[in-house]
Structure 1
């Protein structure tokens, strides 16, 4: 019987020799069963592709979430990703794409916190009054309020100054600052933001303009009265704030008093830094009042214009204070009346651990007053009297006091005109105290 030239029908079997010869030839020569993706991966890739229209994340497993985070575009709108994508690889990719330096250890090892803090900082630093819409900032609040714990604002832009007419150019050179008719040199209004950041704990502000070039004006480097008033009210409304650093902003007595007025009885403020400003005695009196009506632990008034009346006000509050741990009055002008007042206050204070009176024009009498403190106060751990003219009598008083002291682990008396042998003796006592402190801490760790 002759073989049919046609292939067998559906109910017929191919001859044995034909079945052996059949093979599949793929169009792709590299194709194999091993390269076929899992259906689950195809679904995840679809989620990535359509995330903007239909975000799916929380319903996935941990491994699936990692898959999504590694592939999502960092350019997706924040209103899509902020409340859906948890902290992890995605936010790390967003940070590294935007900034060259990304030290996550400064942000509690949270990439998401780093992104939103730096993003909000950038918006505020580039905010131009009367030009930028406030809603630019406000629409970020629902997205970032749970992640922003610290804001470090390194510049605040003033309004754009209108160009002068040619005929007014000469006359403007003779005009005083008070005759300027344009918008006041106000900056970003923190009153619209701070009360809404419910996790904010630290605020660092500098009223200045970076890289102002030939447009330099002194007004670019200070806060106005309106700035001060709006900021003061905003600080009062921010109940979670623990640290306020407002420095290099030409804060004078008037502004200091207004700020303190709204900081009195603040429920959470623990650290205040008004360093490198223009605060004098009236502002220092307000600070003294703040010490009696707050729970401050760290106060930095370095490089201001506080003299003996202001120092006496701070000393009076210090004698009654039971929370302050660190006081920095470096680079003021306390002189001996102020220095002796601080020393007398510390005889009644059992809380302060760190005192800095460097470069305050104090001399021997202040050293004598503080030596009495060193002889009987076991709470104070460090004292800095550098760059003062303590002289021979002051050095001897400190030497005698330190011979009986077992608590001071840092005593800086460089550039004080104290005899080198006395300096060497005091340093030896400090090293001995440091060794005792280390042994004490090691013992406490073992008992725990």
Structure 2
């Protein structure tokens, strides 16, 4: 992202966003001085709209008595990083926040503890979110964000009514975390995109999200659950909710471990759903039976414009039938847009 066009054609914004990112990524907890941070944030605040943090330095490990080397004790399971609260709170124009916990280029000093973060880290981020009145996109990815940590963050996200995109992809959120996220969907007034790709959500978590879709308050447009093994039961619950729900408009279920019996449920759902425009079910074993159910179901659907059925094992005949139905829906949609 070195193109100034990515920064609103502002060289000042380009420089200050990159400078602040580099400063945060290199700042160790032992060098954190509140007054210096506040001065830096005040200087950068008018120009910074996006903050993308690719690493956070860990504190220095304790030194052994013999003084030969430093190493983290095996019983330590999380570490506190620098507080991001003053950055989030002080950047009054911040619209996007991307955070990844870990250390790049650690070399021979590698330890799993460097890629873990504490509940205190979550609390500090959450307190910052309470004051982020312009924030639209919040992303924590490729990090050890689990049920306990995401629950803390969600308590603060509920109070922030400007966030419309949440991305917790490639983390460790399980069923309890998904249930908490489902509760968020029933109360948050602005959330439009929810990305939970490659977590540890199972059938119980999918059921919680399905219940939330039946009582949703958020104007959700995108729900991404790819690479979560929610299985047949999880997708069946989602189909039951989607039969009558107006949200989302795009659903991604690629690589979710469901089979042909769920393909039948998907076909039945498409017969009743009137708002879904894009559906990704690639890399699931639907087979001939599931493909036939989909091709029949989509014939009665007038809104679906895109269906990704790659690597599902459906027959060429069913694929051709699906494509014809999609083309018909697309032509109908274009005519509506022209009117």
- TM-score, with length taken from structure 1: 0.71
The alignment partner of 2:291 has SS state of helix
Question: Paired residue for 1:353, among 239, 245, 249?
Answer: 249
Q: Distance in 2 between matches of 1:250 and 1:155?
A: 13
1:102 corresponds in structure 2 to 2
Question: Paired residue for 1:177, among 75, 83, 88?
Answer: 75
Whether the 8 Å contact between 1:252 and 1:278 is mirrored in structure 2 is: yes
Structure 1 residue 254, shift from structure 2 partner: 0.7
2:258 corresponds in structure 1 to 362
Structure 1 residue 440, shift from structure 2 partner: 3.9
Structure 1 residue 313, shift from structure 2 partner: 0.5
Q: For residues 69-127 of structure 1, give each alpha carbon's deviation from its aligned partner in whole angstroms, at most 9, with x where no partner exists.
A: xxxxxxxxxxxxxxxxxxxxxxxxxxxxxxxx631221122222222211211111111
Structure 1 residue 131, shift from structure 2 partner: 2.0
2:209 corresponds in structure 1 to 314
Q: Distance in 2 between matches of 1:109 and 1:432?
A: 41
Q: Distance in 2 between matches of 1:369 and 1:109?
A: 49
How many residue pairs align between the two structures?
Answer: 337
214-223 or 155-164, larger mean C-alpha shift: 155-164
Question: Paired residue for 2:13, among 89, 95, 113?
Answer: 113
124-133 or 208-217, larger mean C-alpha shift: 124-133
Question: Paired residue for 1:242, among 121, 133, 136?
Answer: 136
Gaps of 5+ in 1: 1-100
Q: Distance in 2 between matches of 1:162 and 1:145?
A: 36
- TM-score, with length taken from structure 2: 0.93
Displaced runs of 4+ in structure 1, greater than 4 A?
165-170
Gaps of 5+ in 2: none
Higher Rg of the two aligned structures: 1
- Is 1:224 aligned to 2:137, yes or no? no
2:22 corresponds in structure 1 to 122
Change (3 A) 1:103 1:438: farther
- Is 1:383 aligned to 2:279, yes or no? yes
Q: Distance in 1 between matches of 2:245 and 2:159?
A: 21
Q: Distance in 2 between matches of 1:166 and 1:434?
A: 72
Change (3 A) 1:152 1:169: closer
Structure 1 residue 425, shift from structure 2 partner: 2.0
Whether the 8 Å contact between 1:335 and 1:361 is mirrored in structure 2 is: yes
Q: Distance in 1 between matches of 2:80 and 2:328?
A: 54
The alignment partner of 2:30 has SS state of coil
Structure 1 residue 431, shift from structure 2 partner: 3.2
Whether the 8 Å contact between 1:123 and 1:137 is mirrored in structure 2 is: no
Alignment of 1:9-408 (within 5 A): 102-166=2-66, 176-178=74-76, 185-294=79-188, 295-322=190-217, 323-408=219-304
The alignment partner of 1:204 has SS state of strand
Q: For residues 123-143 of structure 1, give each alpha carbon's deviation from its aligned partner in whole angstroms, at most 9, with x where no partner exists.
A: 111111112433332212222
Change (3 A) 1:109 1:439: farther
Q: For residues 221-256 of structure 1, give each alpha carbon's deviation from its aligned partner in whole angstroms, at most 9, with x where no partner exists.
A: 122222122112222232321110001111111111
Whether the 8 Å contact between 1:292 and 1:321 is mirrored in structure 2 is: yes
Higher relative contact order (CA 8 A, sep 6+): 2
Whether the 8 Å contact between 1:124 and 1:137 is mirrored in structure 2 is: no
Instruction: Report the aligned-residue RMSD.
Output: 2.1
Q: Distance in 1 between matches of 2:8 and 2:268?
A: 43
